[in-house]
Amino acid sequence: MIPTTYDGLLILDKPPGMTSRAALDRAARWFPRRTRIGHTGTLDPLASGVLVLCLGSATRLTEYVQNMSKTYLSRFLLGARSDTDDADGIITPTISAVAPAPSLVAAHVAQFVGTIEQVPPAFSAAKVTGRRAYDLARRGEVVELAPRLVRVDAINILLYDFPVLDVEVHCGKGTYIRSLARDLGDRLGCGAHVQDLRRTRVGPFTAENAHTLECDPAAARARLLPMQLAVAELPRTTLSLDDAKRFCQGQAIVLPELSPGANGGKIAVFDNEQRLLAVAEYDVQAQVLRPAKVLASRER
């Protein structure tokens, strides 16, 4: 029997030269017309790779996928700057650019690891007074974006042969690889921009297991992933049958010595059959688990 509703996650391998929205619209044709569907983190048109789509009830969990750690492969081109910080913009070669020594490149790359301040690119979806920065930049307006804190877990240099620098970046939510290239080029004094970018991982989702837009729609529907994977990076707890029933009715549950981890106190709550019930907030002082986003029915 063909299901009339779809709830779960679909992992796309977005091709370069296409917006994330256009990729989503293509994939949406594989499902019934009124299926709710949204993506969980924009990829630049130049970029390819993992784009996680949430369908049906899973659209309520997009924020937790957005917060997942990510891995990118990128080629930086040193010796030239771009107004978009990538190869899609207007490229301006740096006059008399000198190839930095490999040791200097490695030393400066290391400075971007950790929690750092980063200014998003002018051509980005970041907002300025309620408007998208790229809308202002396209009109020729001066865009001044405030720096924000982002987390970079590691940057591995895969190849350096001036002007080419290939890197693998492991990072958290909101990190712009274009900004890393721009800022690295500024510190080296030669300028730099992103020539190629591929997202290879979002949380547990990898490009190797992603669907292309040329895949068989029936196969994509059949391989929809369970929506509990959207909370894979949250700590989890399992409730008894009675506690689960009360919790799904909106009641708080006393759970002593539960550790919420470093996710703003959010915890994924499962029943004893390992079905996702809700995302909860844990009050460490009161040792109480409170419903934040209930996904299961009250009858469960």
Task: Render pLDDT for 11-20 as a digit per residue (tens, 0 to 9).
Answer: 999 999 999 9
Tokens standing for 140? Answer: 């020729």
Residue 4 has what pLDDT? Answer: 63
pLDDT tens digits, 53-91: 999 999 999 999 999 999 999 999 999 999 999 999 999
Q: Is the pLDDT of residue 23 over 60?
A: yes
Does the structural domain 8-68+204-229 have CATH classification 3.30.1330.60?
no
Q: Is the pLDDT of residue 221 over 70?
A: yes
Check: CB of residue 84 under 8 Å from CB of residue 123.
yes
CATH of 70-202, one of 3.40.50.300, 3.30.930.10, 3.30.2350.10, 2.40.30.130: 3.30.2350.10
Q: Is the pLDDT of residue 95 over 70?
A: yes
Using CA atoms, how far apart are residues 96 and 232, in angstroms rounded to an integer?
A: 49
Q: Hey, where are the domains in the chain? A: 8-68+204-229, 70-202, 234-294
Q: Which residues lie closer than 8 Å to 283 by C-beta, 6 or more apart? A: 265, 289, 290
Check: CB of residue 23 under 8 Å from CB of residue 213.
yes
**This prediction's pTM:** 0.90
Tokens standing for 113? Answer: 């690891």
Vertex 98 angle, CA 94 and 102, to 5°? 125
Q: Is the pLDDT of residue 9 over 50?
A: yes
Q: Is the pLDDT of residue 100 over 60?
A: yes
CA distances from 237 to 61, 64, 265, 278 (A): 17, 16, 13, 10
Fold of 234-294: 2.30.130
Do 234-294 and 70-202 fall under one CATH topology? no
Check: CB of residue 49 under 8 Å from CB of residue 207.
yes
Q: Is the pLDDT of residue 217 over 90?
A: yes
Residue 282 has what pLDDT? Answer: 86
Residue 299 has what pLDDT? Answer: 41
Residue 137 has what pLDDT? Answer: 46
Residue 298 has what pLDDT? Answer: 42
Residue 300 has what pLDDT? Answer: 42
Q: Which residues lie closer than 8 Å to 194 by C-beta, 6 or more apart? A: 46, 74, 75, 76, 77, 85, 86, 87, 177, 178, 181
Vertex 108 angle, CA 103 and 111, to 5°? 130
Residue 136 has what pLDDT? Answer: 44
Percent over 90 (pLDDT), the chain:
66
Residue 284 has what pLDDT? Answer: 81
Residue 146 has what pLDDT? Answer: 79
pLDDT band at 185 (very low <50, low <70, confident <90, very high): very high
Residue 1 has what pLDDT? Answer: 45
Q: Please identify every residue annotated as catalytic.
A: 44
Q: Is the pLDDT of residue 266 over 90?
A: no
Q: Tell the burial category of 124 from Cβ atoms under 10 Å away from its Cβ (0-12, 13-18, 19+).
A: buried
Residue 144 has what pLDDT? Answer: 66
